[in-house]
Amino acid sequence: MNRNLKIKLLPFILTLAVIILDQITKLLIVKNIPYATIGAQYFGDFLRIVHISNTGVAFSVGATWSETARHILFSLLPLIVIGLVIVVYFRNNDFTMLQRWAIAGIVGGGLGNLIDRWFRKEGVVDFIDVKFYGLFGLERWPTFNVADSAVVVCGILLIISFLIIVIKEKNKEN
């Protein structure tokens, strides 16, 4: 195996770690916390571990759509997008290591939630519930899971990494 391929494959350790951690935590939640209940609270009611499921996507968008529409838009389409991301990932030699790790984390999070959509009839298991103090009109942030966290954190890192490159290139021009 050549060095370039090894460099590109290494970040997929994060993909596997996210999928494994996501699925283990969801199994623990399903096994130990009855559905629609609070299993634990920390820092008063700031952080709660709950057991709910979501048949939609972020913020329950599409949860009331038909099963066929949800299957196409939330299972098949994301799989195609993840496949395209992986193709671009391996064809591109210009990504930085941070960008490669961030992409791998996003792919792991996406696959973690797809596993739920394919194998859990109740939908994606969500369990992290955080108080949001009325910001944006939300008393609590929508409940999420490890996969969601990986997508958001790695997505932010990816955007920051691209911004840093743009700033560096702009400074070189000046």
For 122-165, write each residue's pLDDT tens digit: 999 999 999 998 888 889 999 999 999 999 999 999 999 999 99
Among 40-54, 63-77, 102-116, the minimum mean pLDDT is found in 63-77
pLDDT of 145: 98
d(CA 162, CA 103): 12
Among 20-34, 37-51, 69-83, 114-128, the minimum mean pLDDT is found in 69-83
- Phi, psi (deg, nearest 5) at residue 42: -135, 145
Contacts of 28 (CB under 8 A, 6+ apart): none
d(CA 8, CA 93): 9
For 78-124, write each residue's pLDDT tens digit: 999 999 999 999 999 999 999 999 999 999 999 999 999 999 989 99
Residues annotated as catalytic are 126, 148
Contacts of 20 (CB under 8 A, 6+ apart): none
Q: 31: closest CA among 17, 44, 49? A: 49
Q: Read off the pTM.
A: 0.90
pLDDT of 136: 85
